[in-house]
Amino acid sequence: MGKKRKHSEAEVTAPVKKDEGAPQRPKRTLLGWKDKVEEKESDSTAFRNKEKVLVTCSRRINYRYRHLMMNVVSLLPHCKKDNKVESKESKGATLNELVELKGCSSCLFFECRKQKDLYLWMAKCPNGPSVKFLVNAVHTMEELKLTGNHLQGSRPLLTFSTNFDKDPHWKLLKEMIMQIFGTPKDQRKSKPYHDHVFVFSIVDDHIWFRNYQISVPHNEADKVDRGGLDKMTLVEVGPRFCLNPIKIFGGSFGGQTLYENPFYVSPNQIRALEKKQKAGKYAKKVKAKKRRKMHEISNPMEPDEFADMWKE
């Protein structure tokens, strides 16, 4: 039979109680030590911009306009691209539903009509406002031989001409452009630096868009100090296009008309005038031909003396 243990060996030592007043050790990450309490406080107070833009187009769009849309998609890292939408009267409800499903707050809709005219809808969903533009002077990145080249996903600097602060409708357009084309700070696909500039300028009541790369010398001897703008240069990257505002609506893709451009002329009217001018040129040619015939009849030519000699 085995021996019984002594009472002293059977006693188990009581665990040592930890000091409850000692602070908890912070969690260690790849970037260093982090305190959980500080993270919660900073997250609760900081504002995070969650702006997302849905970019889509209508069916039967021209290849040139499709390339322009893809250039815009490459410039906006916070956008989401979707399938083509049929351009009907009920397209507003369809686009609002797509924006809600994609979790976006804005929409850029490229609408092509007659495979000639391109219209751009810029809308804040689902409550508005929205703007309808006619797009002219389209030049994509592929067709322009420009030397500029910036990194994809970098945040752009937005610059506006002083004309945007004159009238209320220009102020509204400026605010919408800032919210849609400005990349949020901590966006997942964006880079935390600026190396290109979006330029929006108003000339002849049209908004002209340009994209420039910020080029600085890379030699160690010619390092640019903070604020040294003299050594920086701008190189155009593209694309180029011109926006002619047609109407500003109070809702998303419709609603009350807040502004209507009095100088807008539709492309259909321009083509009709060109046809009338061409028809006028043809009518002038027909009248001139009749006048020549009447002149020949009233003024017959005298018989040629040498013609009889050649016949003999």
CATH code for the domain in which residue 161 is found? 3.40.50.10480
Segments forming the whole domain that contains residue 69 = 53-264
Q: What is the pLDDT of residue 274?
A: 87
Does residue 183 share a domain with residue 74?
A: yes
DSSP bridge pairs for 107: 54, 123
Burial zone of 172 (CB within 10 Å; 0-12 exposed, 13-18 middle, 19+ buried): middle
Give the total number of structural domains in the chain: 2
pTM given for the model: 0.74
- The pLDDT score that the predictor gives to residue 162 is 94
Same domain, 234 and 298: no
Same domain, 211 and 296: no
Residues 169 and 188 in one domain: yes
Residue 239: predicted pLDDT: 93
Give 10-residue mean pLDDT values along the chain (312 residues). 57 55 66 54 64 93 93 94 86 91 94 93 92 95 84 92 94 95 88 91 95 80 65 88 96 93 93 84 83 85 67 60
117 and 218 fall within a common domain: yes
DSSP annotation string for 32-48: EEE-HHHHHHHHHHS--
1 part of a folded domain: no
Q: Is residue 188 part of a domain?
A: yes
Do residue 95 and residue 209 come from a single domain?
Answer: yes
| Same domain flag for 215 and 118 | yes
78 lies in a domain? yes
SS3 125: coil
Asked if residue 254 and residue 183 are part of one domain, the reply reads: yes
- 269-282 exposure pattern, b = at least 16 Cβ within 10 A, e = fewer: eeeeeeeeeeeeee
Q: Are residues 113 and 254 in the same domain?
A: yes
Structural domain contains residue 21: no
